[in-house]
């Protein structure tokens, strides 16, 4: 059947870049901010810190350092995006990462197990914790805030028991240590970057062509090309930057993309795929948007609710191991303190709503970078710990306020 001319004008009209930009601006004014706040704050923070510490902040060494620092907070935030999409919260994600790292470290040092035993064990620990949270929240129906607050305390006890008061378990396994401390060979970095760019460009262009052939809603070609250009430039540019020698002394050469970066990349791409392209992801958004509507549509709301906590805790285990790799050890307070605050902050700054139903996997990356730039920059400025806490807390509040105000604006403009 041919669609009549009056209907769905936007789907049929070939949108120009100008009209698409105008639509986008109208959406932003209507409170649909998307990635705008995070990109804006990232840019201004980079400019600010570059101005204050011109010789250190944008040095090759610090940029690589930034990415290594950002890895664990990004992975943790990625898991939290799933939980936040349902309008729930996991306050125990940080300490879960600590427990899992402790399990991994103990198995290595005391049982002498190799990484391919300890890593699955840590992941399983995370999965079990997530299942417990999920059962208590989705089946018993205790508010997630309370369940995970209790676990926040309880799991710190578990880590303390595992590692012992004042103790530190060193992490020496080569594979684990390499994650945050070793770099890919230059050629591999470039190959990966080029392959990723090509794959992204091909998938976007093929999708656009398919949509045009079938007369479906699509973005203007100019915008698709611009997006490909930006993503490609970012990937290739970063590979170039990390390819530069950043060794502190001229005697050695230290360059290449840290191994953890492709790990984060794989996780983020997988999460994006799951959320955008699978039935499961669609149901997560549906339950977050209107749980009652989802239930009536035949969606297994309890199972979806449980699953997001399982995903979050399992990803927390990954974050814990990455952090253990970066620090070469696990301490009793691993994952405690402000680790969770940073991760929640990252997700919210990235654009994930605390009210549920809105958020993307890429929010974790953008928000994770913003949070890390703050921590890293303040560290370079030599500001005392209390300032770092004050500023990070303030940024989280600011992001949450933007989220709340944007939501009100959306309600007011009927978007």
Partner 1 sequence: MAKARQWEPLDEMSVTPVLDLRGVDKSFGPVQVLHGAALSAYAGEVTALVGDNGAGKSTLIKCLGGMLPMDGGEYLFEGRPVRVGSPREAAALGIEIVHQDLALCENLDVVQNMFLGRERRSGMVLDEAAMEEMAARTLTGLSVRTIKSVRQPISSLSGGQRQSVAIARAMLWDSKVVVLDEPTSALGVAQSRQVLEVVRRLADRGRAVVLVSHNMNDVFAVADRICVMFLGRTVAQVRASDVTHAQVVELITSGRSGDGVEAGRPVPVHGRGTGPGGGAGRG
Using CA atoms of 238, 242, 243, 248 in order, give the dihedral in degrees to the nearest 10: 160
In the beta sheet, which residues pair with residue 169?
330
Nearer to partner 1, 141 or 214 (CB): 214
Nearer to partner 1, 7 or 165 (CB): 7
The token pair that represents 249 in the structure block: 């002394």
Least spacing, CB of residue 14 vs partner 1, in Å: 13
94-107 as b/e: b if 16+ CB within 10 A: bbbbbbbbbbbbbb
Least spacing, CB of residue 121 vs partner 1, in Å: 29
- Local structure of 132: helix, strand or coil: helix
- C-beta of residue 102 within 8 angstroms of C-beta of residue 161: no
- C-beta of residue 366 within 8 angstroms of C-beta of residue 347: no
Nearer to partner 1, 161 or 415 (CB): 415
Nearer to partner 1, 278 or 383 (CB): 278
Compute the distance between CA of residue 94 and CA of residue 335 in angstroms, rounded to an integer. Answer: 4
Compute the distance between CA of residue 314 and CA of residue 176 in angstroms, rounded to an integer. Answer: 17
Least spacing, CB of residue 386 vs partner 1, in Å: 39
Where are the extended beta strands (E) located within 230-351?
329-330
Q: Site residues (CB under 8 A) for partner 1?
A: 1, 3-4, 6-11, 210-211, 214, 216-217, 277-279, 282-283, 285-286, 288-290, 292-294, 296-299, 357-358, 410, 414-415
Nearer to partner 1, 323 or 363 (CB): 363
Least spacing, CB of residue 169 vs partner 1, in Å: 40
Least spacing, CB of residue 157 vs partner 1, in Å: 38
Least spacing, CB of residue 401 vs partner 1, in Å: 20
Compute the distance between CA of residue 238 and CA of residue 262 in angstroms, rounded to an integer. Answer: 12
Nearer to partner 1, 117 or 223 (CB): 223
Residue 412 CB neighbour total at 10 angstroms: 10
């Amino acid at each position: 059947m041919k669609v009549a001319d009056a209907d769905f004008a936007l789907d049929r009209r070939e949108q120009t870049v100008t009209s698409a930009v105008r639509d986008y601006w109208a959406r932003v004014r209507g409170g649909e901010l998307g990635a705008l706040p995070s990109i804006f704050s990232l840019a201004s923070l980079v400019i600010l810190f570059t101005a204050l510490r011109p010789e250190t902040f944008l040095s090759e060494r610090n940029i690589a350092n930034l990415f290594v620092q950002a890895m664990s907070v990004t992975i943790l935030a990625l898991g939290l995006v799933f939980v936040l999409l349902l309008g729930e919260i996991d306050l125990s994600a940080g300490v879960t990462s600590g427990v899992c790292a402790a399990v991994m470290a103990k198995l290595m040092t005391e049982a002498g197990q190799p990484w391919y035993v300890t890593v699955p064990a840590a992941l399983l620990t995370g999965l079990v914790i997530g299942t417990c949270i999920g059962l208590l929240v989705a089946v018993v129906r205790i508010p997630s805030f309370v369940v995970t607050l209790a676990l926040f305390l309880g799991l710190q006890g578990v880590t303390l028991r595992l590692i012992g008061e004042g103790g530190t378990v060193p992490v020496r396994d080569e594979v684990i240590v390499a994650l945050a401390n070793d770099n890919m060979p230059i050629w591999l970095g470039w190959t990966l970057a080029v392959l990723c760019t090509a794959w992204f460009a091909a998938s976007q262009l093929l999708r656009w062509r398919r949509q045009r052939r079938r007369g479906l809603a699509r973005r203007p070609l100019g915008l698709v090309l611009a997006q490909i250009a930006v993503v490609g430039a970012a990937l290739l540019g970063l590979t170039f930057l990390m390819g530069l020698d950043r060794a502190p002394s001229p005697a050695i050469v230290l360059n290449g993309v840290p191994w953890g970066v492709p790990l984060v990349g794989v996780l983020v791409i997988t999460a994006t795929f799951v959320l955008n392209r699978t039935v499961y992801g669609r149901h997560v958004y549906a339950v977050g948007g209107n749980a009652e509507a989802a239930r009536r549509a035949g969606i297994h709301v309890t199972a979806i609710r449980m699953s997001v906590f399982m995903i979050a805790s399992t990803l927390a285990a990954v974050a814990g191991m990455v952090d253990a790799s970066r620090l070469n050890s696990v301490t009793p307070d691993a994952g405690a303190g402000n680790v969770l605050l940073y991760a929640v902050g990252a997700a919210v700054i990235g654009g994930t709503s605390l009210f549920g139903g809105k958020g993307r996997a890429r929010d974790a990356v953008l928000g994770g970078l913003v949070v890390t730039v703050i921590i890293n920059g303040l560290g370079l400025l030599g500001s005392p710990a209390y300032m770092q806490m004050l500023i990070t807390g303030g940024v989280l509040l600011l992001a949450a306020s933007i989220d709340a105000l944007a939501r009100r604006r959306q309600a007011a403009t009927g978007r």
